Structure 1
Amino acid sequence: MKRFRWTTPLLIIGCGVVSGGVGARAAAADLPDVPRIDSVVMADAQPHETDAAVIWYDDFDDEAQQRRYPERSGETTAEVRFGDQGRALQMDYPEGERGTGGRKLFFGDTPTHRAQAVRPQETFTDVYWRIYVRHQRGWTGGGPAKLSRATSLVPPGWRQAMIAHVWSSGEALTLDPASGVRGARVVTTRYNDFDNLRWLGNKPASQFQLHSREESGRWVCVEARAKLNTPGQRDGLNQLWIDGRLEAERRDLDWRGTFADRGINAVFLEAYWNNGSPVDQSRWIDNFVVSTQPIGPAFCPRNPVLIKTPDRGSNGPRSWEAEIAADSAGASVVWTSDPLRGTDRVRVGTDTGRFIGSLAGEDQLDAARTYFVRARQQSETGQRSAWSPWHQPFQTLTGPETRSPK
């Protein structure tokens, strides 16, 4: 009898463990993917178009604008674009190849392509540049080595006094500034004269994993800054922001010694993958801005439209939700959506959710503010995903505006 009483519970417990394991695996399989906000619908007029600080703005929609680049490769496409209209620059990576697609912008006191230089009578010593980058969903292999760079070109030829590289570091991004100057003399003899460059430090890399599978399939805002040192001092600066957060910086840089004959005069967008892509895949670039002042993310109406990434799960989402916060950590949530069904987009307003916190009782976001978004979704069987990180920042326009149509 004692053996019977001991054995039966053990068998029951054993069955419960097996049953629980199957149930847990089934629940995990049903758990929907953590979504992202792919992009936002920008205001029709972006302040970059008229801002005197802006050296260059290209949304890749106008073919005539593409012809203003003295050197370019790759085509624009309307199949993938930031927001709900327009075009983007496509970079293609066939398996084993190093990538195609790019643009070279020359400005200021560039000695190269003077006839097509933008604002050729000026010298720039502090430059910001911003792009939106989207990697094909399921992106594989980490990052192509090259994304962008700002440089100071010096005659004769393509000698470089300095380079501010924005390069990959595994799935992350990093800054890799370099100087081609010793004292008052430019010692480089050609473009990418690595033997004569002085490297100023490529660590730390970003915490944000731009080239990861988790962040693929949606648009990410990447902004960099290069500020030349005062001649003879070590006060140069190189910074990198991703999705509105400062992710890497190099301070106290000696970019140019006492050399002061040229400023920063070119920014390049690049596709080059040193080792070649492991599979056929693509990435896209949109909304390219170069400025002498901080740029930040895209501008939206005060009732913006958010566009969610498509669901990747097999069961399909039953509904999804979004929240907006006035800070990057989500400490000041100001709007929360109702459950959303049958659509991947939502116009922020009182008919689709509630304004809360500092905006309780309002029907619009504040003007001239930067906001961050997060999202989650629910499967047909009621399983909710985790909330996404706070991401996809956007700026609201300054002053009163006409409300966007619903």
Structure 2
Amino acid sequence: MATAILSTVHVHAQGASNAKWFAPTIQEVEIVSDWKQGDAGIIWADDFSAPGALAPRYHDVGSSAGSFGPADAVGLGNSRGLRQHYDSGQVSAGWAWRFFGDHPSVGGPQYREVWARFYHRFDTGFVGVPPKMARMGTFATGDWTLGFMAHYWWATQGSSRGRAIADVASNIATTGNQPVQRGYNNFERWLPVALSTFKADTAPNSERWICYEMRVKLNDANMLNGEYDYWADGQKIISITGRNIVAAYTARGINALQLDTYWNAGSPREQSRFYDNVVIATHRIGPARSPRTPLIRRTPFRPIGSEQLMEWHLQVAPSAARDSIVWVARTMAGGTESVRVDAASGTFTGNRTMLDANTLYVVRASAVLRDQDSSGWSEWHGEFLTSDDVSSIVVEQARSALRAYPSPASERVTIEGFDDGAIEVVDCVGRIVLTERNESTRHRIDVDVSRLASGLYFVRNGAQATRFVVSR
């Protein structure tokens, strides 16, 4: 006999701020690594560093005549990322499906609980809120019949406009054990919508890279114990428990993730949005790793009328203890857009010479205009995780011709664009795991990585560097 569990919904509020409109927003914090070495919980990952189109890394892609695809210098740190471009009025602007686990076309293990994480940013000056961002669910058959789908979407109407929502649909009747409707995007029932207070179109969330994450745990057969959680910028913004997601359906688990840019009403103007660093795992993922002296970049200042940004300020604090500020930047001129968290650019508290290892931090900023009007402090935002080793390797891909692909890779990696001299493959803690020398004039080699553990690796050649992922 099934035991009923009360359904609960927790929607978490975002911290309030009295800052004025011109308080700076942190666009991004430098990252140096992402996937953990040897982490068996990583199902799949992509940082878009591989050259070429999304296929075959993604199983179903809608490129919308070039509107949607990888591009140089649009990802985190000006790396290669995923760009989606809307023309004015455009509705269908591209998508990418990654299948995994027991998807009918993959034939792998069944997963009943899965996390998916990705970074997303709206371009500077973006207007409006496209309702779609990502979805994760179950494909039951080869004809695209679904078991369920959890949507990470944005509300678009009324006072809720721009707020993140969890909108989950099931294609299994409340006491059923098989899909009811046939074909894609057809469902038998929709679960109650969960509306968060996290908004995409308000400071400090617009125009910056935000780490989003979603978790779905399927209910046991005929039990009200399904769960789903959504995070934004390190904060859990929606938490749902006690749900009947798939009733008694157990034939397949969670096996698909989609990045989705459909805009039902059409974009009001020509503009772009971006994705980077996608990870699917069997455990909480969290933000990518940053060096212990990271470079922090603010969003561009957009004046109203004749206002001029004269100076700005920055503070860093542990995410778990935001009153305990650990670094204060020296006053920066208005034309300065980035600062490194080190002793040369600011002051650490205590005996620190850099941020603590393996610690979550947040930042806040303030600014002063030409008439000495002060913005006050922004909300704490931009959560990042420091690396666990002092010898963090900084990769500035935009300045390097060096390439390593495919990424993710399982057996072999092609490295090209290097100069004469040794080519070193280095793990996340700075250990050299492979050394190669170019014996041809083509400046291109194939490297066997079949013995390397799953994780992130760096390729060094003189002053050049790039990265690739091993994933199995």
Short-chain TM bin: 0.7 to 0.9
**2:167 corresponds to which residue?**
176
Displacement of 1:102 in angstroms is 2.2
> 1 or 2, which has the higher strand percentage?
2
Cα distance in 2 between the residues matched to 1:276 and 1:403: 42
Amino acid at match of 1:252: G
Q: CA RMSD in A?
A: 2.1
Query: Is 2:138–2:147's contact at 8 Å kept on the other side of the alignment?
Result: yes
Equivalent residue runs for 1:187-202 within 5 Å:
187-194=180-187, 196=188, 198-202=189-193
CA distance in 1, matches of 2:374, 2:31: 29
Measured after TM superposition, the shift of residue 242 of structure 1 is 0.8
1:107 corresponds to = 100
CA offsets 1:329-386 (integer angstroms, 9 cap, x no match): 7222211111123421111111111122xxx111111111111111112223433222
Counterpart of 1:14?
Answer: none
Q: CA shift at 1:192, angstroms?
A: 0.8
Tell me how far apart the structure 1 counterparts of residues 263 and 99 of structure 2 sit (CA, whole Å): 23
SS at 2:252 equivalent? coil
Amino acid at match of 1:82: L
Letter in 2 for 1:54: I
Which of 24, 27, 30 is 1:35 aligned to?
24
- Structure with the higher helix share, 1 or 2: 1
> What does 1:179-328 align with in structure 2 at a 5 Å threshold?
179-182=170-173, 183-194=176-187, 196=188, 198-203=189-194, 205-212=195-202, 215-313=205-303, 314-327=306-319
What is the one-letter code of the residue matched to 1:163? Answer: M
The equivalences for 1:351-390 within 5 A come to: 351-356=344-349, 360-390=350-380
Matched, 1:167 2:153: yes
Which shifted more, 347-356 or 321-330? Answer: 321-330
Letter in 1 for 2:27: D
Give the gaps of 5 or more residues in structure 2: 1-19, 156-160, 396-472
Distance in 2, matches of 1:349 and 1:213, equals: 27
Unaligned runs of 5+ in 1: 1-30
Tell me if structure 2 keeps the 8 A contact 1:303–1:404: no
Of 159-168 and 74-83, deviating more is: 74-83
Whether 2:76 is the aligned partner of 1:89: answer no
Mapped contact 2:52–2:70 kept (Cα < 8 A): no
In the alignment, the residues of structure 2 paired with residue 383 and residue 349 of structure 1 have an alpha-carbon distance, to the nearest angstrom, of: 28
Name the count of aligned residue pairs: 360
CA distance in 2, matches of 1:71, 1:49: 29
The answer to whether the aligner puts 1:52 opposite 2:57 as a matched pair is no
Retained in 1: the 8 A contact 2:54–2:70?
Answer: no
User: SS where residue 196 of structure 2 aligns?
Assistant: coil
Pick aligned residue for 1:75 from 49, 69, 73: 69
| Residues in 1 aligned to 2:183 and 2:290: alpha-carbon distance in whole angstroms | 43
- Matching residue of 1:347: 340
- Verify the 8 A CA contact 1:89 1:101 in the aligned structure 2: no
Distance 1:100 1:290 in 2: 23
Query: Which of 110, 124, 127 is residue 137 of structure 1 equivalent to?
Result: 124
Kindly, what percent of the aligned residue pairs are identical?
A: 34
Is 1:128 the counterpart of 2:115? The answer is yes
How far apart in 2 are the matches of 1:171 and 1:273? 13
Separation in structure 1 between the aligned mates of residue 203 and residue 362 of structure 2, nearest angstrom: 21
- Could you say which residue in structure 1 is the equivalent of 2:49? 61
SS in 2 for 1:90: strand
One-letter code aligned to 2:31: M
Report the CA distance between 1:299 and its aligned residue. Answer: 0.8
CA separation in 1, counterparts of 2:225 and 2:81?
Answer: 36
Report the Cα distance in structure 2 between the residues aligned to 1:32 and 1:256, rounded to whole angstroms.
Answer: 45
Please identify the structure whose Cα radius of gyration is greater: 1
1:34/1:124 CA distance change after superposition, 3 Å: same
* Contact persistence 2:204–2:381 (CA under 8 A): no
State how far apart, in whole Å, the 2-side matches of 1:64 and 1:393 are: 31
Would the alpha carbon gap of residues 384 and 50 (structure 1) be closer, same or farther in structure 2, given more than 3 Å must change? farther
Q: CA deviation at 1:121?
A: 2.3
CA shift, 1:64, in A, is 5.4
2:76 partner SS:
coil
When normalised by structure 2's length, the TM-score is: 0.72
Name the structure 1 match of 2:327: 335
Find the aligned partners of 1:298 and 1:398 in 2 and give their Cα distance: 12
> What displacement does 1:91 show?
1.5
Aligned-residue offset at 1:38? 0.3
In structure 2, distance between residues paired with 1:399 and 1:159? 46
Q: 1:60-81 deviations in whole A, cap 9, x for unaligned?
A: 1212583211222212222432
Shift of 1:285: 1.0
